[in-house]
Structure 1
Amino acid sequence: MLLKTAIKNILGAGRRTWLNVTVLSFVFVLMVAYNGILDGFMKDAITSAHEWDTGYGQLWSEHYDPYDVFTLQDAHEPVPAALNQFIIDQSVTPVLLSQATAYQNGNMQNILLRGIDPEQQILKIPSHQLAEDETGTIKAVIGKRMANTLKVRSGDNLLIRWRDRHGVFDAREIVIASVFDSNTATIDAGQIWISLDNLRQMTQMPGEATYFVLSKQCHIKQDIGTWAYKDMDFLLSDLYLMKQSSRIESVIIFTILLVVALLSVFDTQTLSIFRRQKEIGTYVALGMTPKRVTRLFTLEGTSYSILAILAGFIWGTPFLYWFLKTGLKLPESYSEMGLGMRDAIYPVYQPASILMSIILIVALSMLISYIPARKIAKSNIVEALKGKII
């Protein structure tokens, strides 16, 4: 009976009801779309990291620190015997790093040489382009960002200078065999990939590596000798921190929007109780207890959110579907940030996120409706019959 009465009352309120429903439905759809963008970005960034950079875990030399360039000269060790079979099975691939300088058209650019096995299948780096041919030319592959920086294309020659493990400088021309396009700037900007054997020979570091990339099938989950195991939580910690920061920002934004939206519900319920005092007295005269009348007005306020969610599904579903197909277009400069961004971010709608938004809106609507209605439960029955509860 309470539910039927509540529905009749809010439908009879006319414009006030549909104004509240419109505002709440807009906030609901906006919450779903924004959370979908965050989830879509994280999915793209993590997938791109798996495919291009981190694999599914890594083993680092004890001297390796990617955030300290001064340690790179010493960040290499011989490959441990325990990993030889994994390398043969191609479930682990070694990578060797060395600082260098590239010269092109009179310009100088500090770079990082990365040596990788041409036959590896773990990362999407087109390493097969690095296989040696009869000419003995050192081949290299670079990303689109690096190609734009150096102003080179596939087939161009590039002069590089490096220093070997003994501190002796040497220089040689390399050929750009391929230019790849990746969302992950950490393996592109300032990076040149060459054959692992070539880099070992150039730096006089035979049989050494800086870190190992593990495939999804590799079961190594612990340190091996001086090689430190890094799991995905560690390798993707920057992304997780950024997601957490974005979630905090979204909480602040939607708190403000919900306060504005629910304020209209609060005002509507307060005004309704003030104007309907005789109706409340009639309910009590017909046998309703003040607590049941309180529940009735609380249910009315909650019904606004339920109607808003239904309305949001009606008009929001085609909108969110269109948004899913078109995505959020990003300026070209965003791809330079190294966050795994594509030209557009496509949302991913998680059922748990949608359900959380629904629960939040309904719960807050229930609370904001109960606050003005609770005074009814404390009213005197005789005064309620006279229409004087406030």
Structure 2
Amino acid sequence: MKLSFQLAYKNLIGAGLRTWLNVAVLSFAFVIIIFFNGVIDGWNQQARIEGVKWEYGHGQLLNENYDPFDPFSMQDGHGILPKEAAGNLTPILIRQATIYPEGRMVSVVLKGIDADQSVLELPTKLLQASDAEIPVIIGKRMAASANLKVGDQVLMRWRDGNGTFDAANITVAGIFDTDVGSVDNGQIWMAISKLWDMTGLDGHATMFVASEGYEHKLIQGWKFDSQEELLSELSKIIEMKKTSSSIMYVLLLAIALLAIFDTQVLSIFRRQKEIGTYVALGMTRMQVVGLFTVEGSMYSLFAMVVGCLYGIPFFIYMANTGIAIPAPTQEMGVTIGERIFPAFGAGLVFGTTLLVVISATIVSFLPTRRIAKMDPVTALKGKLI
């Protein structure tokens, strides 16, 4: 086996430019596969962390009449949770409302939350610090779309618990920056105690966000979604993105492997006398097949080395600086930051390396099967196989 590696190494180095062209193409495919998978994994990690910090907490307890995907369920989808079951839960009351910035009519989702809460990253302390009559906080995207800034007042209309319309001026007490569009776009946050007074729904909540110490028990009229269930939609998006990106990986890898396959076919055709000499010197046909297979698989090993030379600095740079994401992309409702920082885990690198090495070995073996059928005397004469 040692002899096979030595001969394969000398043959590849002796091939010169042909070898390094194959190595360059294969190393490029290797680096690109790791990079794009790293970007998707980085996006997944960031989105999950931000989703838990800003929206999901450690799970959500929803009223059975409330459907997050049905805005018409907001009117009646609320209730009072028994006090003995309310431990480690932060209440949120959700109502529909309309604001009128600069004479425009903008539909919004009005959410009341405990101003003392610490489960979510929302800066609800600003609601306590404000001396406005009805202080609210909004996200930067909401502020941009409504052209509002801290200290601005705007007229808001809402319905109380009986369905009667009411209106008053609200004051923007703070603007927060988050990557989670579902707590920003079209959302207005205020103290739940103030919303109770405005709607007459004292003690009511549409949903509760669980803190770390919460242990769920079955509660009639309420349904619990765990953290993993809430993140499942994001996981499906990530998996779909990985599947669609795999088409590009397959094409890149196929181009590189096709170059190796062609090189192997040409090598066997041109080195018939060499093959016949190996057999005449006592090597079995399978040993010669192994020699040429090792030679082809060494392209992948060279590609690993070359890929590391320019890939590692590139990966380090991208992991530190990230990739800028256009602003319109962040308004699609999917959790995505202004910059995505790729995550290059050991599993990703090892798995990609294994894929490239195995693929190169298989492709190198396929043309060499003809060696096992050849006649050594014919090969020594240099005749076609």
TM-score by length of 1: 0.95
Q: 1:113 maps to what in 2?
A: 110
Match of 2:12 among 10, 13, 28: 10
Which residue is 2:53 aligned to? 51
CA contact (8 A) 1:63 1:75 kept: yes
Aligned AA (2:137): V
> 1:271 maps to what in 2?
266
2:191 to 195, 206, 212: 195
**1:149 shift after superposition:** 1.5
Does the 8 A contact of 2:27 with 2:306 survive in 1? yes
Which residue of structure 2 lines up, in the alignment, with residue 96 of structure 1?
A: 93
CA distance in 1, matches of 2:11, 2:218: 67
Summarize the alignment of residues 265-344 of structure 1 with structure 2, pairs less than 5 Å apart: 265-344=260-339
**Higher mean C-alpha displacement, 200-209 vs 267-276:** 200-209
Query: Whole-Å Cα distance in 2 between the matches of residues 21 and 98 of structure 1?
Result: 61
Partner of 1:62: 64
Q: Would the aligned equivalents of 1:376 and 1:389 in 2 still touch at CA under 8 Å?
A: no
**In 2: Cα distance, 1:389 partner to 1:64 partner:** 76
Match of 2:30 in 1: 28
Structure 1 position 136, deviation (Å): 6.8
Residue 215 of structure 2: aligned partner: 219
What residue number does 2:249 align with? 254
Q: 1:28 & 1:216 partners in 2: Cα distance?
A: 41
Equivalent residue letter for 2:114: D
Query: Aligned pair count?
Result: 383
* Identity in percent: 43
Aligned counterpart, 1:362: 357
- 1:170 is displaced (CA, Å) by 0.7
Deviating beyond 6 angstroms after TM superposition, the runs of 4 or more aligned structure 1 residues are: none
* 1:33 CA displacement: 1.0
CA contact (8 A) 2:57 2:209 kept: yes
Counterpart in the other structure of 2:342: 347
For 2:27 and 2:339, the matched residues in 1 are separated by 26
Does structure 1 conserve the Cα–Cα contact (< 8 Å) formed by 2:99 and 2:155? yes
Cα distance, 1:389 vs. partner?
6.1
SS at match of 1:212: strand
Name the Cα RMSD after superposition. Answer: 1.5
SS of equivalent to 1:119: coil
Distance 2:208 2:106 in 1: 27
**Residue 79 of structure 1 corresponds to which residue in structure 2?**
81
User: Are the structure 2 counterparts of residues 194 and 201 from structure 1 closer, same or farther at C-alpha, using a change threshold of 3 Å?
Assistant: same
3-state SS of paired residue (2:100): strand
1:182 alignment partner in structure 2: 178
Q: Partners of 1:223 and 1:387 in 2: how far apart?
A: 81
Superposed CA deviations along residues 221-251 of structure 1, whole A, max 9, x for unmatched, are: x542221110122211221111111111221
- Helix, strand or coil: the match of 1:95? strand
Asked whether the 8 Å contact 1:282–1:385 carries over to 2, the reply is yes
Which digits, 9 at most, give the CA deviation of each residue in 1:328-385, with x for residues without a partner? 1122222212322222111110111111110111111001111100111122344344
SS at match of 1:114: strand
Which residue identity is paired with 2:115? P
Q: In the alignment, which of 163, 166, 172 is matched to residue 167 of structure 1?
A: 163
Which whole-Å deviations, capped at 9, do the CAs of 1:130-153 have from their partners, x for residues lacking one? Answer: 2276x6711100011111111111
Structure 2 distance, partners of 1:113, 1:132, is 20
Give the Cα separation in 1 of the matches to 2:304 and 2:59.
Answer: 42
Give 1:174 deviation, angstroms. Answer: 1.4
- 1:387 is displaced (CA, Å) by 3.6
Q: Contact between 2:35 and 2:315, CA under 8 Å: does it hold in 1?
A: yes
Return the letter of the residue paired with 1:110: S
1:91-149 per-residue CA deviation (whole Å, 9 max, x = no partner) reads 3201110001111221111011100000000101111112276x671110001111111
Deviations 1:24-64 (A, max 9, x none): 11111111111111011111111110111111211111011
Which stretch of the first structure deviates more once superposed, 271-280 or 3-12? 3-12
* Alpha carbons 1:95, 1:116 under 8 Å: kept: yes
Cα deviation code 1:279-337 (max 9, x no counterpart): 00000001111111011111100000011011111221111111222211122222212
| Aligned residues of 2:31 and 2:311 also touching (Cα < 8 A) | yes
Gapped regions of structure 2 (runs ≥ 5): none
Specify which of 345, 370, 374 is matched with residue 375 of structure 1: 370
Say which is worse superposed, 267-276 or 226-235, in terms of deviation. Answer: 226-235
Q: CA contact under 8 A between 1:102 and 1:159: conserved in structure 2?
A: yes
- Asked if the contact 2:132–2:171 (Cα under 8 Å) also holds between the matched residues in 1, the reply is no
Contact 1:132 1:139 in 2 (8 A): no
CA distance in 2, matches of 1:136, 1:344: 35
Q: 2 CA distance for matches of 1:389 and 1:352?
A: 45
Which residue of 2 is the match for residue 232 of structure 1? 227
Q: Distance in 2 between matches of 1:387 and 1:211?
A: 81
Aligned with 2:23: secondary structure? Answer: helix
